[in-house]
Structure 1
């Protein structure tokens, strides 16, 4: 069990600085990644990946803990693209 931890920072970040130049995306109806995994989310996933180092991923994991679930089958969901 994780202790209650909070991450705060006064650093200023601009999301445009880390997003890919090509913002084409996939979208689908899905669920939250933490229990109760309610199916109430519309996901938007950019097609062009961005880079993250192992250290950055470890820091994210430390802050967010187990904020994920295994990949799920489509179960009839339709994946669309912004250029459909």
Structure 2
């Protein structure tokens, strides 16, 4: 089951669970991602632009996470999310 969970701003009320890929995150949460937790059986790529464009960071499958996107220059720069069947890379 593809259920990546994205934590926006570190607030428990701001979690977003999606099924599959999202070309443009909803306006209420886009560009607010501070960490990512992937609960799917595929890898998750978080992109800086809509339609899976621009720089991205990959989160491994089944519990993989990035606790602080600042180290990847992606903090508050999250615009789209793609779930993949292949490994990160």
TM-score by length of 1: 0.26
Q: Highest CA radius of gyration, 1 or 2?
A: 1
Which one has the bigger helix percentage? 1
Which one has the bigger strand percentage? 2
